[in-house]
């Protein structure tokens, strides 16, 4: 039998999902091993193999497809653990990365210093050359000077080079020549040319993307290559794909050349899973996905049954972080997860995160030397976990250690230990609610009109009070919730994007330039599909977009093209109307008297790996299950309550549970708060009702 395996390596746990032709068979978790990622992956594979009655080596040998997602690239950027990278640019543009896009999140807050550039200014090198906006050579490339600069880079031990010259998108000759010189003088040293990576106007965005991509190449090339070698040595002979930030996946070879696309690759899969589970449960086409891991809380959207994309994706806060400049699934993250550390600030206020205990040493209750209180330790103190059944009984929690660190925090706060632990959960809730507000209310979406799909190992602890605060009446918590991103990989497509720049106005439309850009995009996408192994006969979908705006606006909106090529004014009018509709949906404004300016043209090719899920109807009669035990748990003002405990593996479709209650799955725990209810759907997912 052929299997599909998906792997998501987070900051604390590595999740593995195994599926066959009939669907998902099993999930498993193991602690992430940062030094050698395959060790944690193999441990989780052994867990799922045992669940389906196999040996880990036999399962790998019988697997046709393995999809891998990781936070390694994101963590490297955030912790500044990337390669020593040089930035090469045109004379007079040394400060592209310093100025960023000139904004500040709070312009009146003078307590926060303006951040340093992604690549230090002392690592920036200018070269005499100039290409004009129409592609004309204004100043020839000073090749002798370029050689001297690259010799200097070699002598100073730079490990990667990012090149961004002004108007290289109009004429790439100078960037290409610098790339040739790098290969000649610094053979084997990776480099990124901005016009190849993101051929768009706005030099900061190209420069930022090139800088991030180049800095990740040494790390991710080594990481992905080692992982593939370890997998092959362990007996895996199938197809290996890596998930990307656009909610799809690609081959390792492509991502080694463009490692920037692995940023947010794990979290980007949660909305893919969300889309699938709302379809399975037939609960509408708008949803909020909340993925609570050990380190972060990630939130994304599904609108009208489709993923929401953005090209304004920042690593860090907007304006002061670093711009990815690539199309990504719109996922926002905050440092609030099961491993987030609770602490008291100098003003005496309780805080949670963004620091995390991670996998090593982990929360104090893991018994690996952690000595600071975390959200997981708080849940142990509150009685939400069975210490002997954590991760299906594969880990035994140290209750005394959790009580010790929470007791110390409670003493500093002047509270009893249970009140302090509940306060930690409450503050974590507030951080998560704020993140949801930023992607919903701040973007004009009423969360009351959406269903929530919750995932991640820690999702069940607090998703019900979060939904109540938001006004959402229904939450879907999938049976496989603890591995939501890895489940998303099972439903994902192979996705590849191409972009070309051609600035034009609707009133003086550049038919030849636009059609040439679209021709080049489709040619590159066609070549990608032809070269893709094992998917030649799969269903493919091509989507074309314009990044457009009203004239004199600053930011663009993705606008689907009504035609493949523009033959006359009627086609342009169709594009203008499509933009009016998009602008009206986002901003509730149509400015029909303004011309529409198109800046960039985008093509997205999606190749289907698996059939989309269908709704599952249930004819099961409702029933009230018998509790498997009773445990004292704390729910705030009501104090400790004798709480029924249910084992999720014994619950059948139709089960109805009234809170307070705790449902224990092997890899997650669902806390049903007083006054709330849970039921098991026909697809064996949990539908949490807050009414």
Return all residues near 290 (Cβ < 8 A) that are at least 6 apart: 297, 298, 299, 432, 436, 452, 453, 454, 455, 456, 459, 463, 466
Q: Where are the beta strands (DSSP E) in 618-658?
A: 629-634, 640-647, 656-658
Give 3-state DSSP helix, strand, coil % of the chain, rounded to 5: 35, 30, 35
pLDDT digits (tens, 9 = 90+) for 423-444: 999 999 898 888 888 888 777 7
The answer on pLDDT for 360 being more than 80 is no
Residues 513, 521: Cα–Cα separation, whole Å: 12
**Closest listed residue to residue 326, CA positions, set 178, 201, 182, 499:** 499
CA 231 centroid distance within chain: 24
pLDDT digits (tens, 9 = 90+) for 298-328: 888 888 888 888 877 777 777 777 888 877 8
CB 545 within 8 A of CB 602: yes
Which whole number is the average pLDDT over 571-595? 91
Which whole number is the average pLDDT over 542-560? 89
pLDDT digits (tens, 9 = 90+) for 483-531: 888 888 888 877 888 888 888 999 999 999 999 999 999 998 888 887 7
Sorting pLDDT into bands at 50, 70 and 90, what band is 537? low
Average pLDDT, the chain: 87
Residues 5, 84: Cα–Cα separation, whole Å: 35
Sorting pLDDT into bands at 50, 70 and 90, what band is 691? low
Which whole number is the average pLDDT over 198-212? 90
**DSSP states of 327-375:** -EE-EEEES-STTEEEEE-TTS-EEEEEEE-TTTT--GGGTSS--S-BH
Q: Which two tokens stand for residue 383?
A: 């009685």
Q: What is this structure's pTM? A: 0.80
Residues 237, 4: Cα–Cα separation, whole Å: 12
The answer on pLDDT for 286 being more than 60 is yes
DSSP character at residue 613: P
pLDDT digits (tens, 9 = 90+) for 16-74: 889 887 777 888 888 888 888 889 899 999 988 888 889 889 999 999 888 898 878 87
The answer on pLDDT for 1 being more than 60 is no
Q: Which two tokens stand for residue 280?
A: 């399975």
- Predicted confidence at residue 83, as pLDDT, reads 93
Residues 550, 422: Cα–Cα separation, whole Å: 49
Please, what is the Cα angle at 85 between 82 and 87, to 5 degrees?
A: 140
Sorting pLDDT into bands at 50, 70 and 90, what band is 663? very high
- Predicted confidence at residue 560, as pLDDT, reads 94
Which whole number is the average pLDDT over 232-236? 91
Residues 591, 580: Cα–Cα separation, whole Å: 7
Which whole number is the average pLDDT over 336-362? 85
Q: Which two tokens stand for residue 534?
A: 């094992």
Please, what is the Cα angle at 659 between 656 and 662, to 5 degrees?
A: 85
CB 293 within 8 A of CB 353: no
């Amino acid at each position: 039998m052929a299997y599909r395996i998906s792997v998501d390596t987070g900051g604390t746990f590595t999740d593995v999902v195994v599926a066959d032709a009939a669907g998902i068979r099993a999930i498993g978790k193991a602690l992430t091993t940062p030094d050698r990622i395959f060790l944690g992956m193999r441990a989780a594979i052994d867990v799922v193999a045992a669940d389906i009655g196999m040996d880990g080596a036999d399962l790998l040998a019988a697997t046709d497809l393995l999809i891998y997602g990781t936070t390694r690239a994101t963590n490297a950027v955030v912790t500044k653990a990337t390669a020593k990278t040089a930035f090469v640019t045109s004379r007079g543009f040394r400060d592209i990365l310093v100025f960023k896009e000139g904004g500040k999140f709070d312009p009146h807050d003078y307590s926060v210093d303006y951040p340093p550039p992604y690549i230090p200014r002392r690592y920036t090198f200018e070269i005499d050359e100039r290409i004009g906006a129409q592609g004309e050579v204004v100043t020839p490339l000073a090749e002798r000077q370029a050689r001297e600069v690259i010799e200097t880079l070699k002598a100073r031990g730079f490990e990667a080079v990012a090149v961004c010259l002004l108007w290289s998108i109009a004429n790439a000759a100078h960037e290409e020549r610098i790339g040739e010189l790098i290969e000649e003088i610094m053979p084997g040293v990776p480099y990124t040319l901005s016009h190849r990576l993101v051929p768009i106007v706005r030099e900061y965005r190209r420069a930022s993307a090139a800088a991030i991509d180049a800095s990740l190449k040494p790390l991710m090339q080594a990481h992905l290559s080692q992982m593939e070698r370890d997998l092959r040595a362990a007996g895996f002979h199938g197809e290996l794909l890596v998930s990307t930030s656009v909610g799809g996946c690609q081959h390792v070879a492509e991502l080694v050349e463009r490692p920037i696309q692995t940023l947010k690759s794990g979290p980007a899969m949660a909305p893919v899973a969300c889309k699938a589970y709302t379809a399975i449960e037939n609960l509408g086409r708008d949803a909020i996905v909340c993925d609570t891991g050990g380190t972060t809380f990630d939130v994304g959207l599904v609108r009208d049954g489709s993923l929401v994309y953005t090209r304004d994706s920042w690593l860090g806060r907007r304006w002061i972080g670093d711009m990815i400049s690539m199309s990504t699934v719109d996922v926002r993250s905050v440092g609030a997860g099961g491993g987030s550390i609770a602490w008291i600030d100098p003003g005496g206020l309780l805080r949670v995160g963004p620091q995390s205990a991670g996998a090593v040493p982990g929360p104090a209750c893991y018994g690996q030397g952690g000595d600071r209180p975390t959200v997981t330790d708080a849940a142990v103190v509150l009685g939400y976990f069975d210490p002997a059944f954590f991760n299906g009984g594969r880990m035994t929690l140290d209750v005394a250690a959790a009580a010790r660190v929470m007791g110390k925090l409670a003493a500093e706060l002047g509270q009893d230990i249970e009140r302090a632990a509940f306060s930690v959960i409450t503050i974590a809730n507030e951080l998560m609610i704020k993140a949801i507000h930023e992607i919903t209310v701040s973007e004009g979406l009423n969360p009351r009109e959406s269903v929530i799909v919750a995932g991640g190992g820690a999702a069940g602890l607090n998703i019900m009070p979060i939904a109540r605060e938001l006004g959402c009446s229904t939450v879907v918590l999938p049976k496989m919730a603890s591995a939501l991103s890895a489940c998303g990989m099972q439903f994902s497509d192979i996705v590849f994007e191409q972009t070309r720049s051609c600035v034009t106005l609707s009133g003086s439309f550049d038919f030849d330039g636009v059609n040439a850009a679209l021709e080049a995009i489709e040619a590159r996408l066609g070549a990608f599909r032809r070269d893709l192994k094992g998917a030649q006969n799969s269903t493919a979908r091509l989507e074309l977009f314009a990044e457009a705006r009203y004239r004199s606006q600053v930011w663009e909106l993705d606008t689907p093209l009504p035609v493949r090529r523009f033959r006359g004014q009627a086609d342009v009018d169709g594009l203008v109307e499509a933009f009016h509709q998009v602008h009206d949906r986002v901003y509730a404004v149509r400015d029909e008297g303004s011309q529409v300016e198109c800046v960039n043209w985008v093509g997205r090719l999606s190749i289907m790996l698996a059939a989309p899920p269908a709704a599952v109807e249930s004819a099961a009669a409702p029933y009230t299950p018998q509790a498997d035990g009773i445990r004292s748990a704390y729910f705030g003002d009501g104090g400790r309550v004798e709480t029924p405990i249910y084992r999720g593996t014994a619950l059948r479709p139709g089960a109805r549970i009234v809170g307070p209650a705790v449902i224990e799955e092997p890899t997650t725990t669902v806390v049903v708060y007083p006054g709330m209810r849970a039921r098991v759907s026909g697809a064996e997912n949990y539908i949490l009702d807050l009414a």
